[in-house]
Amino acid sequence: MKALVTGGGGFLGGAIVRKLVERGAEVRSFSRTKYPALELLDVEQFTGHLADPAAVGEAARGCDVVFHVAAKAGVWGPHSEYHSVNVVGTRNVIDACHRHGVGRLIFTSSPSVTFAGVDQDGIAESEGYPPRFLASYPATKAESERMALAANGDRLAVVALRPHLIWGPGDPHLIPRLVDRARKGKLRLIGRRPNLVDTTFVENAADAHLCALDRLAVGSACAGKAYFISNGEPMPLWDFLNRILAVNHLPPVTRSVPPWLAFGVGALMEMTYRLLRLHGEPPMTRFVARQLATAHWFDIAAARRDLGYDPAVTVEAGLALLAAAT
């Protein structure tokens, strides 16, 4: 099997690459730069921008399956950048699959495509897209997910996976940001409700992609569908985050601000950053305020049934692995 992983040098992409290599697959990666870790795995590396159809097509040529993991993530930045990577990039991946006869496409989406700013308690895939979004990332991921699923047909089988809050050893996103803000004394609870939130250990997220590979085919039960992916262990958000802080030898966060105030501060900071054209990311945004103040956990029964997904690493075991690597 020859597989292409876009974003193969990233956190989740790298975990998928390693599992494919362990299976004996011939693996390619498409990223903006080359990664020494992939060279050690004898992964063929293609570099370029997802918005470049020729570069994407060259990487996909001759492949049996594409894992489209690469995306522009985050909660702040020009909408045009999110659109270029997430929407145009996905369109180019789909076109490359059609042009070069790739039979399977596994698209990495996000549960944020369903987030309307209110509690999501055990929702299933029947939950629709909201009428509006609070940030460019979920807006463009929703557009690209719709596009990917619409491409499912008699020549290309497509499935979309929505892993939530991926974490684990080597995480370059969630944990470093959390630790940095805690050390600077900038972390606050948003409200006092014990909002349940799902997370996904990185190895489980990668396993879900391999499960999709094994089950995906034209006309299969999962073709043309999206699936929530998590550890299946929802817990109060700040209980989880405080355990991450404890692993990093930091005290728990106990001070809080009301949700309405956090949302208002986020709106004010967004306006200020836009008007003054400030660099970097605002300390608070409306999207982050709503995410931290609400519950978001998901029913993964469909992924268990259709993909055979069964999260192998529990939150407790993942925290132990994280502690060992810290």
Beta-strand relationship, 120-123 and 104-108: unpaired
Q: Which of 137, 227, 273, 309 is catalytic?
A: 137
Is 273 assigned a catalytic role? no
**What single-letter DSSP state applies at residue 54?**
H
Rg (CA), the chain: 19
CA distance 101 to 112: 31
DSSP code per residue over 120-187: EEEE-TT----S--SSHHHHHHHHHHHHHHHT-SSS-EEEEEEE-SEE-TT-SSHHHHHHHHHHTT--
Name which of 254, 157, 255 is nearest 214 in CA terms: 157
**Residue 11 CB contacts under 8 Å (≥ 6 apart), including other chains:** 166, 170, 171, 172, 173, 202
CA distance 307 to 210: 9
Active site residues: 137
